[in-house]
Amino acid sequence: QVQQVESGGGLVQAGGSLRLSCAASTSFFRIAGMGWFRQAPGKQRESVATITVGGSTNYADSVKGRFTISRDNPKNTLYLQMNSLKPEDTAVYYCNAAPYAIYSWGQGTQVTVSS
């Protein structure tokens, strides 16, 4: 059982940056692929970025060139650096196993981009 706690969200203006963190409670994190997902009001939850144990990454077309996913396996922590934020990035962001989100969902962290 992997428990994830997301943090780092907030309110920023368009063009600004945020860094999200996902802290897992077990070392099982280090043998699983991980990813960031987001859900905007009235929309389906979607995959934003994924990273394998070996460090290979994939991004949704909508965030390529703006977001960077990374992981610190010894610390069981996943990160999402978000630059050049757009209003359409507004959503609750979650972390989970990837490409298959088999862990329980955490509370997520709210990202709101104004202007």
One DSSP character per residue, 31-74 reads GS-EEEEEE-TTS--EEEEEE-TT--EEE-TTTTTTEEEEEEGG
pLDDT given at position 30: 72
Q: Residue 14's closest CA among 65, 64, 87, 93?
A: 87
Is 80 in contact with 96 (CB distance < 8 Å)?
no
What is the 8-class DSSP label of residue 84? S
Q: Residue 98's closest CA among 43, 53, 68, 64?
A: 53
Q: Which residues of 36-48 are buried (b: 16+ CB within 10 A; e: fewer)?
A: bbbeeeeeebebb
Both tokens of 98, joined, read 């990837």
pLDDT digits (tens, 9 = 90+) for 40-50: 999 999 999 99
pLDDT given at position 48: 98
Q: How confident is the model at residue 18 (pLDDT cuts 50, 70, 90)?
A: very high
Q: Is the pLDDT of residue 39 over 90?
A: yes
What whole-number distance in Å separates Cα of residue 110 and Cα of residue 29? 23
Average pLDDT, the chain: 93
Q: Is the pLDDT of residue 29 over 80?
A: no
pLDDT digits (tens, 9 = 90+) for 65-81: 999 999 998 888 999 99
pLDDT digits (tens, 9 = 90+) for 79-89: 999 999 999 99
